[in-house]
A and B are shown apart, each in its own frame.
Chain A
């Protein structure tokens, strides 16, 4: 917390001449509007002054005449550095030379809003297909879905760079993994450059499950958006809804009742427990240890049953809402949950021992996929991946939300920096989560579940961060005073971790690829956020939810 205040002071002192507006509306949240082209000074200053400072994401917002770029810096809280560029000529200096971790974020803003980052090493499309028309930017406010616009699509052709990249050169051979189910059951393409058995480099192509959720959110009311963001990712649904609701509550100055905050914490932690257990099981599967996979998944099932009992569904909890939670928890369920927690703790302790002792597991994971601490910081890595590289960062501790300020727990971190460390972090975190659940369930305050919230949310903006199972998740919401958000930005943890992947895999063997990708626990549905493909003529276009439900278009879909 002191860290945050120091950072704010440093900014105020050193950049007095560049600051146009400075607001600290809530503790640990600051918004700084700077003169054009001064964002680089502010970011390098923060990186120098604050230990473990990282860039969370870059949000581009179309303001009409200008495009506003928000650089969300995580340093004990969130400092949002704003810089505006004219819409007619959206050019800004890159920050990738100061912070290589900004690479993918800048590409995303370039892809969806058309801002050109001068000096960016590889300013290519990130989410949209290669044959997407030039000068068509879906996240600009005046963009409308166009199914049949003439000449809008370039015929099927792969971009020049991609074909060049895929040529084999000398002893280097390209090995393409994906886009169908690389490692985990989600579509993403990795092209590995391989010298013999050793991986020399890797390129990642994202966007296969890009659904345009950020654009769809602008057409739905706030309370409806809760269900939309929940569907960004099944596994960490509670993290997304918590994050979204917090941001809206922040703009609307809504005080959530303490009981609701505790219940949110409980469901959030149950989410983490089953997500981590899933990954530990998958890790066993990826390493060829099928028995471990089956056993961990068997013992994960009671947790899913508890989630079903509390929320009404195994996965899509639909639990959080703006201003509180939708359901109460009864004493019988509390008792049953405590019992399950006890059982799961016993089993997890055993699995942790397996990961510690099993000689095969250790041989396959130790010293594989090493991501050093300095590299992890450079690429702005988050969550268990960062904690496996010795960076003890956790939003629940650094910027407490929900009931985490009152609940005692430890941040787990390992110094080994390899695949093994990242798996161990997760195993130990399950135990911590179970302790949190124990505490929260036995200290559950009484009171109301939710407060009534108006449909219209006052004008304003808010950043909200939570620690999702895979790491820091950030939502940015801008409201213009109506019942519909002006802009919703989501950055899922996997996008942050993906940037460090080439660094972790370099020098590893081909056989280690699955275990290293697995240890990052990627979730690509989170990362990509709708494109339709007409199989008859190969045309692609984007539709919003309204268009999908439009009966004419529905026929076309069927």
Chain B
């Protein structure tokens, strides 16, 4: 029988006792996601020309054009979305952009909708403030 040897990993394992845990303290500490992370969509209604390319090209069929204040604009179904951002790529006017928002989990399915109204009202608020 070969001589008894200490397992190779024992030192490595032992040194961990005095270290802080490797896991992140999320949600107590916010996680920084890198720039360019494919999170929740943002949409610019001003730039949209209602061409419908995003609806046609979406591989998951997660985009539907809806009529909002006389203009057809995309409505995103996040429950179907696969976050590939083919829509942003297909958009000829760069109206669809990605954001680093990743906290989208919910128990309500209707919260997984992005309506164009959301961005229209926001813009109005900012211009109102400007006045």
Is B a genuine binding partner of A?
yes
| Inter-chain contact A326/B83, CB cutoff 8 Å | no
| Inter-chain contact B8/A224, CB cutoff 8 Å | no
| Inter-chain contact A308/B5, CB cutoff 8 Å | no
Interface 1/0 per residue, B16-55 and A, CB below 8 Å: 0000001000000000011011100000000000000000
| Inter-chain contact A308/B59, CB cutoff 8 Å | no
Is B80 close to A, CB under 8 A?
yes
Q: A309-B34, A313-B38 given as contacts; is B9 within 8 A of A358 (CB)?
A: yes
| Inter-chain contact A359/B57, CB cutoff 8 Å | no
Cβ–Cβ < 8 Å partners of A292 in chain B: 9
Interface residues of A in 266-318 (CB under 8 A from B): 291-292, 295, 298, 301, 305, 308-309, 312-313, 316, 318
- Checking A221, A227, A312, A360 against B36 with a beta-carbon cut-off of 8 angstroms, the contacting residue is A312
Is B85 close to A, CB under 8 A?
yes
Residue tally, chain A, CB below 8 Å to B: 32
Kindly provide the distance from the CB of A90 to the nearest chain B CB, expressed in whole angstroms: 33
Q: A292-B9, A358-B7, A359-B5 given as contacts; is B34 within 8 A of A313 (CB)?
A: no
| Inter-chain contact B33/A308, CB cutoff 8 Å | yes
Is B13 close to A, CB under 8 A?
yes
Is B103 close to A, CB under 8 A?
no
| Inter-chain contact A354/B9, CB cutoff 8 Å | yes
- Checking B8, B37, B61 against A357 with a beta-carbon cut-off of 8 angstroms, the contacting residue is B8
Kindly provide the distance from the CB of A209 to the nearest chain B CB, expressed in whole angstroms: 18
| Inter-chain contact A227/B34, CB cutoff 8 Å | no
Cβ–Cβ < 8 Å partners of B57 in chain A: 221, 223-224
| Inter-chain contact A316/B9, CB cutoff 8 Å | no
Cβ–Cβ < 8 Å partners of B60 in chain A: 227, 545
Cβ–Cβ < 8 Å partners of A227 in chain B: 59-60, 82, 84, 86
Q: A220-B59, A309-B34 given as contacts; is B82 within 8 A of A353 (CB)?
A: no
- Checking B7, B22, B38 against A312 with a beta-carbon cut-off of 8 angstroms, the contacting residue is B38
Distance between Cα atoms of A526 and B6 in the complex (Å): 40
| Inter-chain contact A298/B22, CB cutoff 8 Å | yes
Cβ–Cβ < 8 Å partners of A359 in chain B: 2, 5, 7
Is B115 close to A, CB under 8 A?
no
Is B98 close to A, CB under 8 A?
yes
Closest to B58 in A: A224
Cβ–Cβ < 8 Å partners of A228 in chain B: 59
Closest to B33 in A: A308
Interface 1/0 per residue, A308-335 and B, CB below 8 Å: 1100110010100000001100000000
Closest to B5 in A: A359
| Inter-chain contact B82/A291, CB cutoff 8 Å | no
Distance between Cα atoms of A363 and B60 in the complex (Å): 49
| Inter-chain contact B7/A231, CB cutoff 8 Å | no
Is B12 close to A, CB under 8 A?
yes
Distance between Cα atoms of A275 and B22 in the complex (Å): 20
- Checking A223, A291, A318, A545 against B38 with a beta-carbon cut-off of 8 angstroms, the contacting residue is A318
Cβ–Cβ < 8 Å partners of A327 in chain B: 36
- Checking B12, B82, B86 against A295 with a beta-carbon cut-off of 8 angstroms, the contacting residue is B12
Q: A308-B33, A313-B38 given as contacts; is B9 within 8 A of A231 (CB)?
A: no
- Checking B2, B22, B34, B82 against A231 with a beta-carbon cut-off of 8 angstroms, the contacting residue is B82
Interface 1/0 per residue, B77-105 and A, CB below 8 Å: 00010111110010000000010000000
| Inter-chain contact A354/B82, CB cutoff 8 Å | no
Cβ–Cβ < 8 Å partners of B89 in chain A: 326
Cβ–Cβ < 8 Å partners of B8 in chain A: 353-354, 357-358
Interface residues of A in 326-379 (CB under 8 A from B): 326-327, 350, 353-354, 357-360
Interface 1/0 per residue, A210-252 and B, CB below 8 Å: 0000000000110111011001000000000000000000000
Cβ–Cβ < 8 Å partners of A358 in chain B: 7-9
Kindly provide the distance from the CB of A321 to the nearest chain B CB, expressed in whole angstroms: 8
Could you say which of B12, B38, B82, B84 has the most chain A C-beta atoms within 10 Å of its C-beta?
B84
Cβ–Cβ < 8 Å partners of B33 in chain A: 308
Closest to A356 in B: B8
Cβ–Cβ < 8 Å partners of A357 in chain B: 5, 8
Closest to B10 in A: A291
Distance between Cα atoms of A549 and B80 in the complex (Å): 9
Could you say which of B57, B80, B86 has the most chain A C-beta atoms within 10 Å of its C-beta?
B86
Cβ–Cβ < 8 Å partners of B61 in chain A: 545-546, 549
Distance between Cα atoms of A316 and B38 in the complex (Å): 10
Distance between Cα atoms of A318 and B98 in the complex (Å): 14
| Inter-chain contact B13/A308, CB cutoff 8 Å | no
Kindly provide the distance from the CB of A215 to the nearest chain B CB, expressed in whole angstroms: 15
Closest to A284 in B: B9
| Inter-chain contact A318/B85, CB cutoff 8 Å | yes
Distance between Cα atoms of A312 and B86 in the complex (Å): 13
Cβ–Cβ < 8 Å partners of A545 in chain B: 60-61
Cβ–Cβ < 8 Å partners of B84 in chain A: 227, 316, 318
Kindly provide the distance from the CB of A472 to the nearest chain B CB, expressed in whole angstroms: 26
| Inter-chain contact A308/B82, CB cutoff 8 Å | no
Distance between Cα atoms of A228 and B2 in the complex (Å): 54
Q: Which residues of A contact B (CB under 8 A)?
A: 220-221, 223-225, 227-228, 231, 291-292, 295, 298, 301, 305, 308-309, 312-313, 316, 318, 326-327, 350, 353-354, 357-360, 545-546, 549
With A228-B59, A316-B83 already in contact, 9 other A-B pairs whose C-beta atoms are closer than 8 Å: A220-B59, A227-B60, A291-B9, A291-B13, A359-B5, A360-B7, A545-B60, A545-B61, A546-B61
A-B interface, 4 closest residue pairs, ranked by CB to CB distance from nearest: A224-B59, A312-B38, A549-B61, A309-B34
28 example contacts (A-B, Cβ-Cβ < 8 A) are as follows A224-B57, A224-B59, A227-B59, A227-B60, A227-B84, A227-B86, A295-B12, A298-B22, A308-B37, A309-B36, A312-B34, A312-B37, A312-B85, A313-B38, A316-B82, A316-B83, A318-B38, A318-B83, A318-B84, A318-B85, A326-B89, A354-B8, A357-B8, A358-B8, A359-B2, A545-B61, A546-B61, A549-B61
